[in-house]
Amino acid sequence: MEVKELLNAYQAGERTPEGVVRDVFDRIETDGTNAWIATRDQANVLAEATELDDADLTENPLYGIPFAVKDNIDYNGLPTTAGCPAYAYEPEDHAAVVDRLIDAGAILIGKTNMDQFATGLVGTRSPYGECRNVHNEAYISGGSSSGSAVAVAREHVAFALGTDTAGSGRVPAAFNGLVGLKPTRGALSTRGVVPACADLDCVSIFAQTTDDALRVEDVAARFDPDDPYSRRLADDLELSKTCLSDITIGVPAADELEFFGDNEAAQLFDDTIDEIAAQFGEPTTVDFTPFRKTAELLYGGPWVADRLSAVGEFIETHPDEVNTTVADIIRGGKEYSAVDTFEAFDQLKTLRREAEQVLAKIDALVVPTTGTTYMIEAVQSNPIELNSNLGYYTNFVNLLDLSAVAVPTHSFDAGPSFGVTIIGEAFEDARIASIGAAIESEATRPTRSTTKPISSSSN
């Protein structure tokens, strides 16, 4: 269930979109999971697949490719819930990015589960049930784009859209053995996406390979004049893989790496760095301070008030319909004044300049996608602190207007996969994805699970 492989099979006459759609629905029906909030009527999807019989495969770059979207992204035909049934509405139009994918021949299967209002990195804050790690169901899937990651990792679909504000398109990829591409802010339109922090939100892509993720971005990335956050440079993005030579990789100084007491994660990162050194030469140690301080601003500063402006009124009028942890986080936006906001903006500008000076010396920054992983039970007992830990290496990326791709490299003994994130400047999506592909190819790739995961009572 990879984009490139399916396209090759269609071209060779070995598979048909109708057959793939039937396989998809059979797999969803028999493979019990909380990945899905809603799927389309199978007969309608099959009819859509049949219509492709008359289409030219060469003119449809995503011909017959099944995909899913996180349920804060509109599709006219299914309600948008943002992980909250009481919030549900019937969109009049598809989100702009969904329109582009369908126009390219992709076939939408349905809407996926998520941390409510895209507030969380854990995948457990949903009334539709927590999403479980595909390698060990006792562990978190990561969030907030939890269902999209699980649907791809369990090969229900070839790719899925998530959203990424604080790391929601990267953390679930890290834990489930996937590529999670977080494009440059504004490269993919967010028109038709329920906002979390509108100025920071990105539509992200989960796929099995970096090639597939770039192929999807190449279709989806366009300037949208009806989206105030869209950027004109999106039309000029070159999204084919690039040649890599004389690449300088930066890594945080040892005293700024944080694994929250998880020695296994620290060793997995060391192993990955050894593999990177064999490919690109010894990485350069860089000052991680501006990135760390920026990360602290996302939930420790006025940006949480952006979430309040998006759904605060709904939360106040429907207090019993909202996850308690989500509501408490979003209500925290009330604490910030206009003065606080402008002071934070000034601080961010200073930190951005410091980060630019670090990035000017390297071609890409490589960090653990997360410093550890957690069992669902642990997160339920300590939802705020453990969620915050997961954002140590992710929360700064959108605030600093950077591009990023998470790739799997190894696995924890208990099953969940471990990976790193490659980070570059805005509009360097193809280059950082190319570096990510090279790193992933040298690593001991986690084994994907498409059958019932193992249970564990350890850790």
What is the pLDDT tens value at each position of the chain, 459 positions in all? 899 999 999 999 999 999 999 999 999 999 989 999 999 999 999 999 999 988 899 899 999 999 999 999 999 999 999 999 999 999 999 999 999 999 999 999 999 999 999 999 999 999 999 999 999 999 999 999 999 999 999 999 999 999 999 999 999 999 999 999 999 999 999 999 999 999 999 999 999 999 999 999 999 999 999 999 999 999 988 887 777 888 999 999 999 999 999 999 999 999 999 999 999 999 999 999 999 999 999 999 999 999 999 999 999 999 999 999 999 999 999 999 999 999 999 999 999 999 999 999 999 999 999 999 999 999 999 999 999 999 999 999 999 999 999 999 999 999 999 999 999 999 999 999 999 999 988 776 555 444 443 333 333
**What single letter denotes the amino acid at residue 233?**
L
Q: How is residue 442 written in tokens?
A: 């040298």
Q: pTM for the whole thing?
A: 0.95
pLDDT at 445: 57
Domain 1-459 has CATH 3.90.1300.10: yes
Catalytic residue among 111, 126, 141, 144: 144
Nearest CA-CA partner of 404 in 444, 373, 435: 435
70 is catalytic: yes
Catalytic residue among 126, 141, 145, 168: 168
Give SS3 for 254. helix
337 is catalytic: no
C-alpha–C-alpha distance, residues 299 and 212, integer Å: 32
User: Residues with Cβ < 8 Å from 373, sequence gap 6 or more?
Assistant: 133, 139, 140, 175, 262, 265, 412, 416, 418
Give SS3 for 351. helix
Helix axes 42-51, 17-30, angle to 10 degrees: 160
Residue burial 119-148, b: 16+ Cβ < 10 Å; e: rest: bbbbbbbbebebbbbbbbbbbbbbbbbbbb
**What single letter denotes the amino acid at residue 37?**
I
Q: How is residue 22 written in tokens?
A: 């039937």
Q: How is residue 374 written in tokens?
A: 């957690």
141 is catalytic: no
Q: How is residue 402 written in tokens?
A: 């950077």
Q: Where are the domains of the chain?
A: 1-459
pLDDT at 143: 97
Catalytic residue among 70, 204, 411, 449: 70
